[in-house]
């Protein structure tokens, strides 16, 4: 009696060279239940492939260099290993569910403590919300690269340029949805991401939510947040209560609202095998973040308190002294070209205690 020839299960990989993201496809058979993606033998992401999706696909970020990537069934309680935990040397595997992929984009598996980020803040198509929007995306890139270069040589950290792009802008009127917040089109952000990525920098999406919960706005930018070099900043100044209006009062947030965003980012990292995400919390008054010590970073999400006080240099020092903190949180500091009495020099910024991990200019 003839023996049936088994249908081979092959793994195809489609790679986006600009991001290092790889889409893995099983053909012809999908894997049942939760699917794990291993890179060099280490479980890096877990996702569920819909049973009606022919062949099934999963995504994972691949760092530079050759790596063996495999799809495999995993248990419902399987925990991916964060990229910041490191990785062994590339392994070999002849399983039909494995393939060799060479990562292309050099995105850090974590930003801190090895890097210092120098950012320009604003949004596209307008100069009124910050230096980022002055001129074209190419002009913005030239400016932030020059700003980052001024911080080279103070210590052994690698300096990364960044664009902090305002994704949602607080409004003084309700707007069409009554949220007192206007959404910038995601398509507006992509050219800036392409430019900053070309020099090895990162993008941070900034949210000014009005009366909308932070998490609701963040979710609408998931396509961008699935990129390995896109992070988040939350601006509690513009987080309003149900009867409050931006610019009439100073808003606030709490650990529950921030925790919802942390959990969401953690899910993205686990599902897509992404590097650690950065979550920045802007602050210039203690009241802006209630019970901030209850905000807990996790391996997949680094949390930063970013001091935004403006005015004379002594006032900026005092605000930083009041709001500064230490591990497990990171520290940021903002400079204003117009609102500060004068712009502090990089040497003055590097003299702060603790030295900021992230410095932004507006």
pTM of the model: 0.92
CATH architecture of the domain formed by 10-103 = Sandwich (2.60)
Asked whether the beta carbons of 150 and 358 are under 8 A apart, the reply is no
> In which residue ranges of the chain is CATH 2.60.40 found?
10-103
d(CA 288, CA 238): 10
Tens digit of each residue's pLDDT (9 = 90 or more) over 186-208: 899 999 999 999 999 999 999 99
CATH class of segment(s) 115-361: alpha beta
Look at residue 4 in the predicted model and tell me its pLDDT.
43
| Terminal C-alpha separation, the chain | 77
> In which residue ranges of the chain is CATH 3.20.20 found?
115-361
3-class state of residue 243 by DSSP: coil
- pLDDT over threshold 60, residue 326: yes
Average pLDDT rounded to a whole number, residues 96-108: 83
Rounded to the nearest 10 degrees, the angle between the axes of helix 186-198 and helix 137-149 is: 40
DSSP β-bridge partners for residue 26? 11
- pLDDT over threshold 90, residue 223: yes
Tens digit of each residue's pLDDT (9 = 90 or more) over 31-77: 777 888 999 889 999 987 665 565 677 889 988 888 888 888 888 88
d(CA 242, CA 312): 34
Asked whether the beta carbons of 234 and 256 are under 8 A apart, the reply is no
Mean pLDDT for the chain?
A: 89
Question: What is each CA distance from 190 to 197, 223, 236, in whole angstroms?
Answer: 10, 11, 25
**Range with the poorest average pLDDT among 118-127, 170-179, 228-237:** 118-127
Look at residue 10 in the predicted model and tell me its pLDDT.
67
Average pLDDT rounded to a whole number, residues 292-314: 95
d(CA 80, CA 313): 45
pLDDT band at 1 (very low <50, low <70, confident <90, very high): very low
pLDDT band at 273 (very low <50, low <70, confident <90, very high): very high
Look at residue 148 in the predicted model and tell me its pLDDT.
98
User: In 10 A of CB 246, how many CB atoms?
Assistant: 22
């Amino acid at each position: 009696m003839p023996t049936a020839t088994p249908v081979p299960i092959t793994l195809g990989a489609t790679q986006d060279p600009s991001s290092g993201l790889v889409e893995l496809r099983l053909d012809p058979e999908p894997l049942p239940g939760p699917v794990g993606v291993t890179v060099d033998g280490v479980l890096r992401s877990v996702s569920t492939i819909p049973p009606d999706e022919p062949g099934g696909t999963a995504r994972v970020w691949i760092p530079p260099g050759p790596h063996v990537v495999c799809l495999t069934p995993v248990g419902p309680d399987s925990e991916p290993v964060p990229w910041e935990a490191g990785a062994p040397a590339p392994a070999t595997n002849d399983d039909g569910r494995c393939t060799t992929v060479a990562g292309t984009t050099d995105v850090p598996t974590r930003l801190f403590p090895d890097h210092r980020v120098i950012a320009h803040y604003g949004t596209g198509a307008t100069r009124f919300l910050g230096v980022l929007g002055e001129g074209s995306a190419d002009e913005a890139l030239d400016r932030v690269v020059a700003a980052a270069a001024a911080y080279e040589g103070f210590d052994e950290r690698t300096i990364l340029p960044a664009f902090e792009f305002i994704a949602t802008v607080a409004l003084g009127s309700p707007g069409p949805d009554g949220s007192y917040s206007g959404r910038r089109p995601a398509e507006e952000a992509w050219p800036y991401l392409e430019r900053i990525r070309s020099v090895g920098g990162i993008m941070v999406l900034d949210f000014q939510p009005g009366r909308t919960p932070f998490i609701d706005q963040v979710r609408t930018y998931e396509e961008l947040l699935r990129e390995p070099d896109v992070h988040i900043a939350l601006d509690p100044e513009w987080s309003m209560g149900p009867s409050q209006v931006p610019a009439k009062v100073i808003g606030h947030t709490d650990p529950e609202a921030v925790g919802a965003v942390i959990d969401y980012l953690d899910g993205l990292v686990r599902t897509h095998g992404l590097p650690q995400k950065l979550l920045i919390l802007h602050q210039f008054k203690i009241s802006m973040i209630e019970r901030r010590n209850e905000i807990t970073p996790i391996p997949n999400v680094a949390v930063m308190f970013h001091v935004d006080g403006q005015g004379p240099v002594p006032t900026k020092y005092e605000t930083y002294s009041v709001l500064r903190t230490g591990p497990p949180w990171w520290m940021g500091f903002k400079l204003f070209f117009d609102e500060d009495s004068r712009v502090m020099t990089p040497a003055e910024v590097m003299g702060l205690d603790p030295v900021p991990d992230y410095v932004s200019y507006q």
